[in-house]
């Protein structure tokens, strides 16, 4: 019988795309409300990129491979990971959401006048 895992996030887990997306999703979800209250909605995406970037820098530093190349790749990958984490969040929390187009907002506002 396989052993139950005792460690969920390891350096090896965080060095994979799936592990990093999961970690960024969790941390961003925890920090999202205070960040939105202080800086508004626009700050959430940069927060996700920053969390992904810092986590990748942590993994690179632990492995002792900090170079200009690995830092640059960490930044590029952070954008990809943040996009995946944001997409996963939208997909899981409100899969049937329909965004209003500007002309629909104007029509709605005219109806209430």
2, part of any domain:
no
6 is a domain residue: no
The Cα–Cα gap between 35 and 73 comes to: 26
**One-character DSSP codes across 44-65:** HHHHHHHHHHHHHHHHHHHTT-
Residue 1, token pair as written in the block = 């019988």
On whether residue 38 sits in a domain, the answer given is yes
The predicted pLDDT at position 113 comes to 57
Q: Is residue 101 part of a domain?
A: yes
Write out pLDDT tens, residues 41-63: 888 889 999 999 999 999 999 99
Residue-averaged pLDDT of the chain: 83
By the 8 A CB rule, do 24 and 85 touch?
yes
Average pLDDT over residues 7-33: 90
Instruction: Tell me whether residue 1 is in a domain.
Output: no
Both tokens of residue 93? 């929390």
What percent of the chain stands above pLDDT 90?
A: 50
| Radius of gyration of the chain from its Cα atoms, rounded to whole angstroms | 19
- The count of structural domains within the chain is 1
* 88: containing domain: 11-112
Cα distance between residue 51 and residue 28, in whole Å:
8
Using CB atoms within 10 Å of the CB of residue 61, give its burial: 0 to 12 exposed, 13 to 18 middle, 19+ buried. Answer: exposed
The verdict on residue 20 lying in a domain is yes
Confidence of residue 8 (pLDDT cuts 50, 70, 90): confident
Q: Does residue 67 carry a pLDDT above 90?
A: yes
């Amino acid at each position: 019988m396989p052993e139950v895992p005792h460690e969920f996030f390891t350096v090896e887990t965080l060095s994979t795309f799936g592990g990093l997306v999961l970690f960024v999703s969790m941390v961003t979800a925890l920090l999202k409300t205070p960040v939105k209250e202080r800086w508004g909605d626009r700050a959430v995406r940069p927060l996700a990129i920053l969390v992904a970037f810092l986590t990748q820098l942590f993994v690179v530093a632990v492995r002792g491979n900090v170079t200009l190349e690995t830092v640059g790749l960490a930044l590029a990958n952070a954008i990809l990971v943040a996009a995946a984490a944001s997409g996963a969040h939208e997909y899981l929390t409100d899969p049937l959401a329909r965004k209003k187009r500007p002309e629909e907002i104007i029509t709605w506002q005219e109806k209430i006048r």
